[in-house]
Amino acid sequence: RFLPCKHPNLNPPLFLALGLPLTFLDAGPAWLVWSLVSLACGVLALWRLWEAKRLPVQAPFAAVLFMAGFFAYFPTLASYLGGQVTLLLLLPLVNAWLALRSGRNWAGGGWLGLAAGLKPFFTLFIVGLAILRKGHAVAGFLLTLAGVAWAGGLVAGWYSYVDYYQALKAVSWQANITNASLSGLMAVAASHWPDSWPGDMLLAAAVLTQWGSLAVLSLLVWRLRQVRQRGWARQADTLFVLTLPAMLMLSPLGWLYYFPLLLVMALVIWEYRRSSRRWIYRSLLALALAVSSIPVTVISTDVWQNQYASAGVFGAEIYGCALLGCFLLAVRVTSGRQED
């Protein structure tokens, strides 16, 4: 049974293969199973962090409160209620971080390859792995990605990759209230450019997006090159703290409900070791997370009187600025001299 949808499916064939068993259920039970699996992956990812002593709290009761706060975070709640894949992605992401921190490059690359099979913007990690000269991690990434691509094609059909490519080419809704990427921020600005003002804003938005993306990539490469000779943990922390916000900024669709994936980035920034500046970075991090948790999507546009300051524009601006702030904060933190 097919249900009407507003947009085409933008998930790769692997996602379709994983969801195939749910097609034997009615919509209600299928939704329940999907929700429980997503919740279990999120809880397991947080438990893995607690077990590895990477959470800011270690007492069991405090850890439970931390987990409750994570699931109450508006982007996490939006992802869960919307049936998104974010919590499923969080588990391989956490496993990859912990593996690379301990020098298990094959495993770390493999987990990232699995995540890339579900969401292509994770392929940005292979750039960082190559810069850090982690050959085994790159090999694990590529082999796992090839394996899941083969599995997806085997189940969904090889022509599904052509359909997927065509669906990606058809994306035209970057100017959305919850798209925090660079292209989304520029598209929103272009769509609300008054006709009475001179200039081709669409062209300007495209140019600014390209230059902004180049700047983000340059900062990413620059910082990663600086930690080539450092220990495993320092390299992994730098890789994740920079790549996670960068991949959402560079993606055409960096939706708000992907923000829970920034958890690893937040943990790295929170544990910044220079005590004289730690409170500053923690305060800025808390501010960015608080701003990203504002539920603009539920605010009526009638609240905003100015036609060029609608809820859609305001939402894209605050979410985009929060993501940009996280990336710049990550760039600043990785410049400090920390112990490995």
Residue 194: which pLDDT band, with cuts at 50, 70 and 90?
low
The label of the residue with tokens 């329940």 reads: 32
pLDDT, one tens digit per residue, over 121-176 is 999 999 999 999 999 999 999 999 999 999 888 887 888 888 888 887 777 777 77
Cβ pair 328, 219 in contact under 8 A: no
How distant, in Å, are the alpha carbons of 17, 181, 264, 321 from that of 317?
Answer: 36, 10, 24, 6
How distant, in Å, are the alpha carbons of 57, 93, 106, 149, 331 from that of 100?
Answer: 22, 11, 9, 23, 20
How many Cβ atoms from other residues are within 10 Å of residue 303's Cβ? 11
Check pLDDT > 90 for residue 46. yes
Check pLDDT > 60 for residue 310. no
Enter the tokens of residue 14: 């692997």
Check pLDDT > 70 for residue 288. yes
Mean pLDDT score, 18-39:
87
Residue by residue, DSSP assigns 177-239 as TTB-SHHHHHHHHHHT--TTS-S-HHHHHHHHHHHHHHHHHHHHHHHHHHTTTS-HHHHHHHH
Share of the chain above pLDDT 70, in %: 85
Residue 175: predicted pLDDT:
73
Residue 267: predicted pLDDT:
95
Q: Is 229 exposed, middle or buried (0-12, 13-18, 19+ CB in 10 A)?
A: exposed
pLDDT, one tens digit per residue, over 48-102 is 999 999 999 989 999 999 999 999 999 999 898 888 899 999 999 999 999 999 9
What 3-state class would DSSP assign to 15?
A: helix
Q: Is 208 exposed, middle or buried (0-12, 13-18, 19+ CB in 10 A)?
A: middle
Residue 274: which pLDDT band, with cuts at 50, 70 and 90?
low
Cβ pair 271, 261 in contact under 8 A: no
Mean pLDDT score, 254-267:
93
Check pLDDT > 50 for residue 206. yes
Give the integer Cα–Cα distance in Å for 260 and 337. Answer: 27
Across the chain, mean pLDDT equals 84
Give the integer Cα–Cα distance in Å for 47 and 55. Answer: 9
Looking at residue 92, the DSSP 8-state letter turns out to be: H
Give me the residues paired with residue 255 across strands.
Answer: 179
Mean pLDDT score, 234-238:
94
Give the integer Cα–Cα distance in Å for 285 and 333. Answer: 11
Mean pLDDT score, 5-24:
76
Residue 305: predicted pLDDT:
41
Higher pLDDT, 317 or 258: 258
Give the integer Cα–Cα distance in Å for 120 and 110. Answer: 14
Residue by residue, DSSP assigns 305-339 as -STTS-HHHHHHHHHHHHHHHHHHHHHHHTTS---
Residue by residue, DSSP assigns 151-162 as HHHHHH-TTHHH
Looking at residue 122, the DSSP 8-state letter turns out to be: G
Task: Give Cβ neighbours of residue 60 (< 8 Å, ≥ 6 apart).
Answer: none
Residue 338: predicted pLDDT:
54
Cβ pair 72, 293 in contact under 8 A: no
Check pLDDT > 50 for residue 195. yes
